[in-house]
Amino acid sequence: MAPRSAWSSPQRDAACTEMSAAIPVRAQTRPKATPIVHIRAKRQLVKRLLTAALIVIALVALVQLVQARRHLSNAVADLNIARSVAGNLTALQDPTMRQQLNSHLSAANGEFGLAENDLVLWEPLLGHLGWVPGVGSELAAAAPLATAGRDSTSAALSLLDASSPMWSILAAHRPGQPLLPRILPVLARGHLRFMTATREFDSALAALRGAPVNLGSAVLNRSLHRFRGELPGLRNSAEWLTAAPTLLGWSRPSHILLAWEDRRELRSTGGFIGAVNYMTVRKGIVSTQPSGSALSHEITMPIPAPMATYTDEVSWLFRDSNWSPSFPLSARFERWLYGEDTGRWAPMVVNVTDGAADILQATGPVYVPGYRRVVAAKNAQAVANFYIYGTRHPFSTSQARADASKTSFLGVFMGVMIKRLQGMGIPGFLRVATGLHRAVAQEHLLMYDRNPAIERTIVDVGAEGTIARPQHDFLYIVDDNRSYNKLNPYVREAVTYHVVVRPDLWAQATLTLRYHVNRSPNTLEGFGPHFGLGGTKHDYLDFLRIYVPPGARLLGSSGIDAWADETAYGARQLAGGMGVKENHTDVVVFRYLVPPSAFTGNRYQLTIQRQPGSYLGTIHLEVLGTGGVTIGGKGGVKLTVPVTQRLNRVSVPVGGPIHPASYSPPHHVYEGDPYILPSLFTDKRHPL
């Protein structure tokens, strides 16, 4: 018999039963494997959902873009109608026309707002779609244009609302009646609205800077160009309306120091100060206190070193106070010397150089009683030269007689002009505004005010006369006649600027200035260098200052009594004295290195600033490359640059093997004048 197992049968059966019971339990707790087909199905479902979502988003975006485009089109249509209505300001005296203007501006504002709402979700994306063929530029410009349109129309509505009470006054105005005192209360009540309009115009300009210049359509480009051109003027108008109550003496009298400059004797800010007028404005009524350039007490200051070197002056007088080529500083000198002498302190200083003709074109000819002269735009300069500037004598008695003549004529002339200006209606004021704008653009009119808010307004309209601070190459030529004569109309100045660009982007510059003195008439006013001891009244003596980028390095100069080159007004100043005899030619040359900061990307950029009153009309520019560098896509560029505006800009492409050198601009650049110590102006009650 076989041996029995160690387990008895009942025990074995029990164990088997236990094992069989355990197996199903383990099988139920193990996770079932997901079939691959199920995973693929889920992925396809997600893709379908994403695709559907994208289609929905695209459809929503398309609908909103189409709606935004329709709103923008409607807004532009309303804006064009509003522009045509506002173009005739005289017609706005009719309440119906003003209501029509308000209605179209409100409609345009609403449409711009709806367009902005439609685009708000897509604005971050639209700015990157400029590459899309056909419509990319429009898509990129849509959001900033909607914002600019909404803000600008809102600002225009604020202007219209604040000035609305003025129209009934203008409608009832009769020629010859003082107008400013009647509209000044309206301007004062609308001060906050005008301020709001200024801020809204600022927002519109900021938005507009984010829009592409080219929209891919000639029609759209013309509209955008027109919009860009009109907006700054509207903004400046709002800012001047904000400042008007202060300037017109609403709450307290305002004071203006008006200096008349003669560009025939060229000085840093335009010309020799021949006469001055202290003006007081009380609630829109102007009173004047004219005088010659020789003041009662002749308060003096230590003379700037170049003036002491090239003239026989021993002290610095008011008539020579416009020494600085930065008008805010010259204006402060004028104000301080005049105030110390007379006790009359003006927060605002205005210098006029040949600007009377621009204003007289607006006012029309005026008759000056007592002198039996009709002064018009065509003869204003000759009359001013004869009566206001006159002949300057080195001896006090003759100077006193000349100043008495100036003061008399200036007082009568200003009285007639103020009466004419105060009695003008809207068309006349618009003509005057145009004349003033032209005078500012040609730098016949420079302004400074100690009130920061008003000074910002002056800066915004470009009448501040500061030295520019571009981040590239820069050239500013400042001539200063020190020969005691009115010779500058007979001095012919020709300038050539030659620039050679190296592969390391340092550029070697050669500035050549050629002066020729033509024959002048025997009747020429003046005495000549050193009161005639250094030449005749037909000879020319000039203190020349050249301003170039602060990192420029002078290599050498010729044809000039050179002064040390140094930093001034945030630039590098090259300076010296030079004289030219009648019917002779002298040539001055400066050679220096222009740092790599003159280049932006792969472009050479140059800004040429025009000196107020200067007779220099053009500058010949030549830019060449060396070491394989190409200029303008070829060997070089030759240009004749008209110097007709305050700032004249040139930009040319640079190519070839360029390896810019490492360059760090100067850390400390002097911002003042190297020949004047402001600490000498010691009146604690009236700081400089």
Is residue 334, in this structure, part of any structural domain at all? yes
> Does 204 share its domain with 300?
no
> Does 654 share its domain with 600?
yes
Q: What is the pLDDT of residues 2-54, one digit of tens each?
A: 444 444 455 555 555 554 554 554 444 555 555 677 777 777 776 776 766 66
Q: Among 12-16, 229-233, 308-312, 461-465, where is mean pLDDT lowest?
A: 12-16
Is residue 498, in this structure, part of any structural domain at all? yes
What value does the mean pLDDT take over residues 298-315? 89
**pLDDT-based confidence at 522, cuts 50/70/90?**
very high
Q: Output the pLDDT for position 215.
A: 66
Q: Output the pLDDT for position 392.
A: 45
- Residue 450 buriedness (CB in 10 A; 0-12 / 13-18 / 19+): middle
Instruction: Collapse the DSSP code of 336 into the 3-class scheme (helix H, G, I; strand E, B; otherwise coil) and give the result.
Output: helix
Q: Among 11-15, 52-56, 303-307, 589-593, where is mean pLDDT lowest?
A: 11-15
Q: What is the pLDDT of residues 199-226, one digit of tens each?
A: 999 999 998 888 777 766 677 778 778 8
> Does 224 share its domain with 272?
no
Concatenated DSSP letters for 202-237? HHHHHHHTTS-S--S-HHHHHHHHHHHHHHHHHHHH
> Does 619 share its domain with 652?
yes
Listed residues 212, 247, 282: the one ending a domain: 247
Q: Output the pLDDT for position 112.
A: 87
Q: Output the pLDDT for position 128.
A: 60
Q: Output the pLDDT for position 106.
A: 92
Is residue 32, in this structure, part of any structural domain at all? no
* pLDDT cut 70: percent of the chain above it: 85
> Does 213 share its domain with 106?
yes
**What is the extent of the structural domain holding 492?**
473-680
**pLDDT-based confidence at 61, cuts 50/70/90?**
low
pTM score, two decimals? 0.83
Mean pLDDT of the chain: 85
Q: Among 127-136, 149-158, 447-456, 577-586, where is mean pLDDT lowest?
A: 127-136
pLDDT at 461 over 80: yes
Is residue 688, in this structure, part of any structural domain at all? no
> Does 395 share its domain with 508?
no
Q: How many domains are there within the chain?
A: 3
> Does 145 share its domain with 292?
no
> Does 243 share its domain with 277?
no
* Residue with token string 């021949």: 274
> Does 214 share its domain with 259?
no
Is residue 411, in this structure, part of any structural domain at all? yes
**pLDDT-based confidence at 1, cuts 50/70/90?**
very low
Q: Output the pLDDT for position 395.
A: 41
Dihedral class, residue 355 (left if φ above 0, else alpha if ψ from -120 to 50, else beta): alpha
pLDDT at 580 over 50: yes
pLDDT at 332 over 50: yes
CATH no. for residue 408? 3.40.630
**pLDDT-based confidence at 175, cuts 50/70/90?**
confident
pLDDT at 65 over 80: no
Is residue 3, in this structure, part of any structural domain at all? no
Alpha-carbon distance 287 to 255, whole Å?
A: 10
Is residue 328, in this structure, part of any structural domain at all? yes
Q: What is the pLDDT of residues 374-410, one digit of tens each?
A: 888 888 878 877 777 765 444 444 555 556 666 778 7
Strand partners, 316: 301
Listed residues 460, 491, 508: the one ending a domain: 460
* pLDDT cut 90: percent of the chain above it: 47
> Does 526 share its domain with 665?
yes
Concatenated DSSP letters for 589-630? EEEEEEPGGGEETTEEEEEEEPPTT----EEEEEEEE-TT-E
CB 466 within 8 A of CB 327: yes
Alpha-carbon distance 413 to 369, whole Å?
A: 9
CB 484 within 8 A of CB 548: no
What value does the mean pLDDT take over residues 151-158? 92
> Does 530 share its domain with 605?
yes
CATH no. for residue 524? 2.60.40
pLDDT at 516 over 80: yes
Q: Output the pLDDT for position 586.
A: 97
What value does the mean pLDDT take over residues 262-276? 93
What value does the mean pLDDT take over residues 529-534? 92
Is residue 17, in this structure, part of any structural domain at all? no
> Does 626 share its domain with 528?
yes
Listed residues 247, 272, 291: the one ending a domain: 247
Q: Output the pLDDT for position 67.
A: 78
**pLDDT-based confidence at 661, cuts 50/70/90?**
confident
